Amino acid sequence: MSKYKTWTAKAADLKGDWYVVDATDQVLGRLASGVARILRGKHKPTFTPHLNTGDHVVVINAAKVKVTGTKAQTKLYTRYTGYPGGLRTRTLERAQDIDPTFPVMTAVRGMLQRNTLGADMLKRLRVVAGPDHGHQAQKPKAVTFDAKGNMKIG
């Protein structure tokens, strides 16, 4: 028997902080991967794969997120109504016109796990089209991401 024990987080040890991310002029994919990392909790030393060790994230100015190249006209979001011939497609540009929060929310959802743990992490994400959010009482800390995707708090 080994004298070394592997430490793992317990549900009582978990504490969720609040962060606010400004999406103005951020590239959509890089922003989404950084936000998904915070939601998953991989930025913490207490990260445990089978628990939700992540934090709450509020993304503001989602309408001002940018994409590179011609993705605004060529990236398609597809859904199926369930009826014959019911395939519906929408470009990123059109999706942003209808709901500015949709591309950010969809990009982050695509970077999380496809199970109940991922769904629980997604509940901690709030995306707002403008600069005002209703979570000032939680005292969120500002987070920025540099060009390489490194997180900087404050």
3-state helix, strand, coil in the chain (%, to 5): 30, 20, 45
> For residues 62 and 60, what is the distance between their CA atoms, to the nearest angstrom?
6
Q: What is the DSSP letter of 27?
A: B
Of the candidates 95, 9, 107, which has an alpha carbon nearest to the alpha carbon of residue 59? 107
Output the six-digit token pair for 23. 């999406």
For residue 144, pLDDT beyond 70? yes
The answer to whether 56 touches 18, Cβ cutoff 8 Å, is: yes
What's the pTM value of the predicted model, to 2 decimals? 0.91
Q: What is the pLDDT of residues 54-112, one digit of tens each?
A: 999 999 999 999 999 999 999 999 999 999 999 999 999 999 999 999 999 999 999 99
For residue 13, the model assigns a pLDDT of 81
Question: What's the Rg (C-alpha) of the chain?
Answer: 18
Kindly report the average pLDDT of the chain as a whole number.
Answer: 93
What residue spans define the domains of the chain?
16-68+96-153
Q: How many residues does the chain have?
A: 154
Quote the Cα angle for 107-113-117, to 5°: 120
In CATH terms, 16-68+96-153 corresponds, of 3.40.50.300, 3.40.30.120, 3.40.50.150, 3.90.1180.10, to 3.90.1180.10
If pLDDT is split at 50, 70 and 90, which confidence band does 147 have? confident
Q: What is the DSSP string of 80-98?
A: E-SSTT-EEEEEHHHHHHH
For residue 122, pLDDT beyond 70? yes
Quote the Cα angle for 104-109-124, to 5°: 85
